[in-house]
Structure 1
Amino acid sequence: MRTTKFILATTILAAFAVFFFHTFSTLDERVDLGGRAALGAFEFLGVAASLYLLSKGHPGSVSLTDLFGCALAVLVTCVGFPGISITLFALHLLVRNGDDLSTKAAGIVAGAVMVQMHWAPLVFSKIAFFLLQIDAGVVGWLVSHLVPGASWSGTVVHSSSEHNVEITSACASFHNLSLASLCWVTLTMLHRPYWLKSDLYLGLTAMLVQFAFNVSRLVFVCLSPSMYDFWHEGFGKHIFSAVATACAIILVQISLVRRDGSSPEECQHSSSY
């Protein structure tokens, strides 16, 4: 069993190491390194959580499927596709032993990290303009109730003749929703290595809170040039990042503890999946 854990952990850790190296080595001076580093910290924590859950599992002895899966993951990583490699290996952890909940949970968290880092940005790049119009529409509608004569068109919010703000990809609520999803999945699997049907509502609530935080910040940005300087270019963006992230973590963790603590019979008898 220890040999199995070591092989599985080494494979997924090596693939993640290559992925992180490639991600950070391709950053340039145009990228918000502070924001990327903040996201990277949570992604590293997700990897650590996945390895911790794997260490708690009971995967049994090494099988030919394990050896083939590990070899395939290493091969796909070496040819330059670590994101696909980790995704496939996460699926392998999910299906290799249906009774080993901790190993399945490790696969779920590893997959969630990959969604945050690899697949979500790909999806966003295809539908960015549509999602940014949603952000701009909500923000523009709110600003129009605060600033007389304010309006919006496309992805641009017009609050005055001198202050027009275009909502770009970097400010999209989609990124906050993706990060909230990663926090929700990771904390839930660390709390208990299986899902309850009510977890879906908690995840949706966490994402809704993140959406509200991002919209609020964009409203502040659109009110005046001084507000723009503080909330977009100044210390305000760090306040927003810290508060929004802390709220996502606290909301999910407190909800899990209070709900499972007040309804232990639900945790014991509710169907898990």
Structure 2
Amino acid sequence: MLKSVRNKIKTESVDRSGLFASLYIIACANGLTARIVKSIHSRGWFDATVGNFDVSIIVWVACFVGVSLVLSERAGKIQKADLVLSAALLLLIALPIGATSWLAVAILSLYILFLGRPADSLRRGAIVLLAVTIPMFWSRVVFNLFARYILEIDAIFVRWVLGTERTGNLVEFVDHSGSLAILPSCSSLANVSLALLCWATVSQFARHKWRSQDILWCLLACFSVFAVNVLRVSLMGVSGSFYLMLHSPPVEVLLSIIMLGLVVSISLAGIRHDSVIGS
């Protein structure tokens, strides 16, 4: 009896799913903690808590779903390449920079998808966790490289709604009392990346089979949050008083809930023909 227990523990200790899940948990926890600490320092405990520490509920759910999928199916014994990669990723995660943890998540996911010969649940979990890195890492990289152009795109649409003058990322208030500056926190890019993550999480959790129509559903989810954000910023551009009212934490939470409802509803509608939900 004791021998069989030892054999079982030994077998489970070399399971690839357990190794990959452990790496994902460490990396996600480190990346999320860095974001939480930054949010508290910049906004204070109350505003940071109300704003969910600047981490969307979609990200929290996606991390849980992704790790759960990775753990839900045994993936065989650990390979030497897995150990080499794990050591390198742990060094990357250990760096005192939150972004490197998300880079580690992306590298691990790509390794599993293209070199790891993954089982079904492991593959789906890797896709979800790779998608998590879009809003948590890649969208920020893209924004840092093309911030000027991204903010000007938002400003063009806001100017079109308000019908006032625009200079770069500045749009004149409707009451001509000043100009609204569209800052990085008001950019639609972050919301669009969350829409992509929501679609990936829902579709992979539901074992959704890829169809050409999925592109349209995904674009619809992205457009919906883009439209809501442009409308929000446009209302801010009515006057200074509107700006102060709509820039308060409670209103931001309400808008986040509206966007969440939209992307979840559209994602569920896109997979409505699938008969199997869950893993």
Normalising by structure 2, we get a TM-score of 0.83
The yes-or-no answer on 1:10 pairing with 2:22 is yes
Pairing 1:16-95 to 2, within 5 Å after superposition? 16-27=28-39, 28-30=41-43, 33=48, 34-35=50-51, 37=53, 39-80=55-96, 81-95=100-114
Contact 1:46–1:186, Cα closer than 8 Å, also in 2: yes
Q: Deviations over 1:72-118 (max 9, x none)?
A: 22222224432322211111221244462221111111111112111
Q: Give, in whole Å, the separation in 1 of the partners of 2:169 and 2:250.
A: 24
Q: Which runs of 5+ in 2 are unaligned?
A: 1-10
Distance 1:260 1:193, change over 3 A: closer
2:268 to 240, 253, 260: 253
Structure 2 residue aligned with 1:201:
216
Distance 1:63 1:196, change over 3 A: farther
What is the Cα deviation at residue 251 of structure 1? 1.4
Pairing 1:150-229 to 2, within 5 Å after superposition? 150-158=164-172, 159-192=174-207, 195-229=210-244
Q: Which runs of 5+ in 1 are unaligned?
A: 145-149, 265-273
Q: Give, in whole Å, the separation in 1 of the partners of 2:168 and 2:160.
A: 12
What is the Cα deviation at residue 202 of structure 1? 1.4
Q: Deviations over 1:5-24 (max 9, x none)?
A: 22221121112222222332
- Report the secondary structure of 1:135's partner residue: helix
What is the Cα deviation at residue 212 of structure 1? 0.6
Distance 1:25 1:232, change over 3 A: closer
The yes-or-no answer on 1:139 pairing with 2:151 is no
Contact 1:94–1:105, Cα closer than 8 Å, also in 2: no
Structure 1 residue aligned with 2:3:
none
Contact 1:112–1:182, Cα closer than 8 Å, also in 2: yes
Distance 1:151 1:221, change over 3 A: same
Normalising by structure 1, we get a TM-score of 0.84
Distance 1:12 1:238, change over 3 A: closer
Structure 1 residue aligned with 2:142:
123
Q: Give, in whole Å, the separation in 2 of the partners of 1:7 and 1:232.
A: 43
What is the Cα deviation at residue 170 of structure 1? 0.6
Q: Give, in whole Å, the separation in 2 of the partners of 1:155 and 1:211.
A: 16
Q: Does 106-115 or 233-242 show the bigger shift?
A: 233-242
Structure 2 residue aligned with 1:244:
259
Between the aligned residues of both structures, percent identity stands at 23
Q: Give, in whole Å, the separation in 2 of the partners of 1:11 and 1:18.
A: 11
RMSD: 2.3
How many equivalent pairs are there? 256
Q: Deviations over 1:227-266 (max 9, x none)?
A: 2232223643222111111111111113212x335xx9xx
Contact 2:36–2:54, Cα closer than 8 Å, also in 1: no
User: Larger relative CO (CA 8 A, sep 6+): 1 or 2?
Assistant: 2
